[in-house]
Amino acid sequence: MSAETPYFGPAYEYEIDPAFRPSFLNLERDAPSLPVQPGIVIRPVLGQRLNMNFVYFEPRTVAPVHQHREEQLGTILEGSLQFELAGETRTLRPGDVYVVPPDVPHGAVTGEEGCIVLDVFSPPREGLRELVERAGDQGSAEV
Amino acid sequence: MSAETPYFGPAYEYEIDPAFRPSFLNLERDAPSLPVQPGIVIRPVLGQRLNMNFVYFEPRTVAPVHQHREEQLGTILEGSLQFELAGETRTLRPGDVYVVPPDVPHGAVTGEEGCIVLDVFSPPREGLRELVERAGDQGSAEV
């Protein structure tokens, strides 16, 4: 990313791992829609070292304060919510990001408007792969 | 995430790591704006195991096909682009996601409209932390 490691660096030999293939997905078509709490549905996309969860909050919905071992970054895609992180609460909108190190308590509440959030986790959120497998294949369009 | 591991599980004791504090950031205020290629600017947000790059493409811009060791997931936030992944090209719009395992070549081209993409990497993209540090502090609002 410096002159020595440019962002778009030179090519090198590679092989595709049959257990982890490149793929294109459309969220509505390919990602399962999983209810995790009244008023909250997630659409997960799984990698091996990380995963995305697109999180759809209805208005006046509570994601209770909780903790997990995985590191989490998140951002607001649409709408707004009140986000509580380590005891401090902020109103977040598109353009806002939160950084949740492992084990740090966090939660969220929506008001009169709903909210769509994108959360990313590393490693993938515990138990998520099993939940997706129970819901059916990820249905990705492998290339 | 099952009945035994609910998505919002029970509380447990924790300590905040002084080297990795929870934080709120606003992209425009707190994330450096780094040009990586003519017509392409990134705003990175760094964790320890993963990072987000918000990527702003001007119209008629090329992100050359490239490879890297980090696993990458990405999604389109605004606009559209042609994304090439392991030799296959698709037109992607909001709601579309790509999964790029380590080392798999990929690139993108915008047409008459620009595009905003969110890419996430694990581990954080090599060289990115140094680039951010040279650009100044991440400026996060720690809680």
SS3 labels along A22-51: CEEEEHHHHCCCEEEECCEEEEEEECCCCE
Q: Please give the pLDDT value at position A142.
A: 60
Q: Which of B9, B21, B47 sits opposite A66 (nearest CB)?
A: B9
pLDDT given at position A136: 75
Instruction: Name the closest residue on chain A to residue B69, using Cα atoms.
Output: A14
Of A5, A14, A88, the CB nearest to B126: A5
Position B143 scores a pLDDT of 64
Which residue ranges in chain A fall short of pLDDT 50? 2-4
Top pLDDT among B6 and A56 is at: A56
pLDDT of amino acid B3: 46
CB contact under 8 A, A9 and B45: no
Distance CA A141, CA A120 (A): 21
pTM value is 0.93
- What is the pLDDT at residue B7? 85
Confidence (pLDDT) at A120:
98
Query: What pLDDT, on the 0 to 100 scale, is given for residue A5?
Result: 53
pLDDT bin (cut points 50, 70, 90) of residue B75 is: very high
| Pick among B80, B99, B129 to test the A interface (most A CBs inside 10 A) | B99
With CB atoms and an 8 Å threshold, state whether A22 touches B86.
yes
Whether B81 has a pLDDT exceeding 60, the answer reads yes
Nearest to A50 among B7, B37, B120 (CB): B120
pLDDT per residue as tens digits for the range A28-48:
999 999 999 999 999 999 999
**Residues of chain A with C-beta less than 8 angstroms from the C-beta of B20:** 101
Cβ contacts below 8 Å, chain A against chain B, sum to: 216
- Identify the pLDDT of residue A8: 87
Disruptive mutation site among A13, A99, A121 for chain B (greatest number of B CBs within 10 Å): A99
- For residue A56, give the amino acid letter: Y
Shortest CA distance from B88: residue in chain A:
A143
**Percentage of residues in chain B with pLDDT exceeding 70?**
92
CA distance A131 to B100: 22
- Report the chain B residue with the minimal C-alpha distance to residue A63: B8
Q: Which chain B residue is nearest to residue A90, measuring alpha carbons?
A: B24
- What's chain B's average pLDDT? 92
Dump pLDDT digits (tens) for B133-143: 888 755 555 66
A131–B90 CB contact, under 8 Å = no
Long-range contacts of A79-83 (CB under 8 A, 24+ apart): A79/A110, A79/A113, A79/A114, A79/A115, A79/A116, A80/A110, A80/A111, A80/A113, A80/A115, A81/A57, A81/A108, A81/A109, A81/A110, A81/A111, A81/A115, A81/A117, A82/A108, A82/A109, A82/A110, A82/A111, A83/A107, A83/A108, A83/B24
pLDDT tens for each residue of B18-66: 999 999 999 999 999 999 999 999 999 999 999 999 999 999 999 999 9
Question: What is the C-alpha to C-alpha distance for residues B7 and B85, in angstroms, rounded to an integer?
Answer: 32
pLDDT value of residue B10: 86
